[in-house]
Amino acid sequence: MKNLSGSWIFLLLSTGFAFSLESVLERSYRYNIYPASWADAQDICRRYHTDLATVYSKADVQYQNLGRYYAWIGLDGDRSKWSDLVLSNGKGYFLDSLENQTFAHSAECIAASYHVWYYNSELLINRIYGLNCGSDFFFICQDNPQHNGQGHHGKEYIFIPEAKSWSEAQQYCNENHEELANIDGSDLDNNVHNEDFPIWIGLRRDSGSWNWTESPSEYKSWEINEPSSNGDCVSMSSETFNMAAQNCDKQFPFLCVSDNVVLVKENRSWEEALEHCRGLGSSSHSDLRYDLLSLQPGEEHAYMVRKVLEADTEEVWTGLRFLAGDWLWVNGADMLYTDLPSCPTPGQHCGSLSKDETVGVKTRDCLERKNFLCYGYKHP
């Protein structure tokens, strides 16, 4: 162990933040509009984010704009029809994925989308997209149930929240309704609406019990007569946020969660853990830095304990250190814990977080070898 001289203390602090701060935790949800099975959704979330989302309350998700979707409609690779849609009533509908490209009649089909967006500072609701015909999306069928007396047939549109390819959607509509919906651009906003459909979240039944994949939660907003025996994976309603059991192979949009905390499942001493965190980096984000984690009492502490439950050791190192007579976070964060010993046992000058500690941190010998928590931040 190095002699903790004043210059080394300064080095510890200066390589982290050079100013005081409270929380370093950054946590956000990421909604994926492309339907996938539960297992594929989890794989995507773990590859690009943290995991499929854990939900703690409706307040967590009610402002996430989860009503967005793509839905097949009944136009395929007819370029003349697409041109009509692009310029319909000057509304600005256009085919993003095909702009400045050659139209591939056999490879591109039309989907309507429902989501709020801005185009040239004008707020619009819906768009027309050209998408790969083999991709699986929800779709809209059409019935012509009545004649309105003016030479036109009234149309009834039926939203189907089942993910199918364009041809499968067309076959379904032909068998169960009349046809896949023909909605032109000028009528899009009037007939493509907010709909209620399932969204995968990170809750699954395992050996008879329901468990969240990312971290534990007490959220239990089940639909009536749920959980059922329909399946072992759980979806959440895009409108009510209530949960239902589903067959895990069904394809729905899904909700990921991202945070800036990294649990390193390697056994290191406290100092080695510090060096490991500060040695992490990102080739795609040159301004991203890492440090040993600081945390604060309350909800943030509880969230971090849930992360610790995934560790291979009963405790994990944090960035808490006793130096020059004071307990401090090595990144310069505010010290809000008030129950730390003013004169700790010799050698026990480093702080760890335990799986069974709900309110405080433990002081341990800095040479003990544990898993540890790093966090990422943008270098100022």
Of 191, 225, 247, the residue at which a domain comes to its end is 191
Domain tally, the chain: 3
Same domain, 187 and 144: yes
Alpha-carbon separation of residue 103 from 75, 134, 184, 366 (angstroms): 13, 16, 19, 64
Same domain, 235 and 272: no
| Per-residue tens of pLDDT for the chain, all 380 residues | 444 444 444 345 444 333 346 788 888 899 999 999 999 999 999 888 889 999 988 888 888 888 888 888 886 445 445 444 443 333 333 344 334 333 333 346 777 777 654 444 444 556 677 777 888 999 999 887 654 444 445 678 899 999 999 889 999 999 999 888 887 656 667 778 889 999 999 999 988 899 998 777 888 899 999 999 889 999 999 999 999 999 999 999 999 998 899 999 999 999 999 999 999 875 555 678 899 999 998 888 888 888 898 899 999 999 999 998 999 999 989 999 988 998 888 889 999 999 987 778 999 999 999 999 999 988 76
Same domain, 134 and 222: no
Same domain, 185 and 144: yes
Range of the domain at 184: 69-191
Do the domain assignments include residue 1? no
- The CATH number of whichever domain residue 311 belongs to comes to 3.10.100.10
Same domain, 91 and 62: no
Backbone angles phi, psi at 276, to 5 degrees: -65, -50
Same domain, 74 and 113: yes
Do the domain assignments include residue 233? yes
Please tell me whether the overall predicted TM-score, pTM, comes out greater than 0.85 for this model: no
Do the domain assignments include residue 74? yes
Of 191, 209, 227, the residue at which a domain comes to its end is 191
CB of 332 within 8 A of CB of 20? yes
CB of 101 within 8 A of CB of 132? no
Strands 362-364 and 27-36 turn out to be unpaired
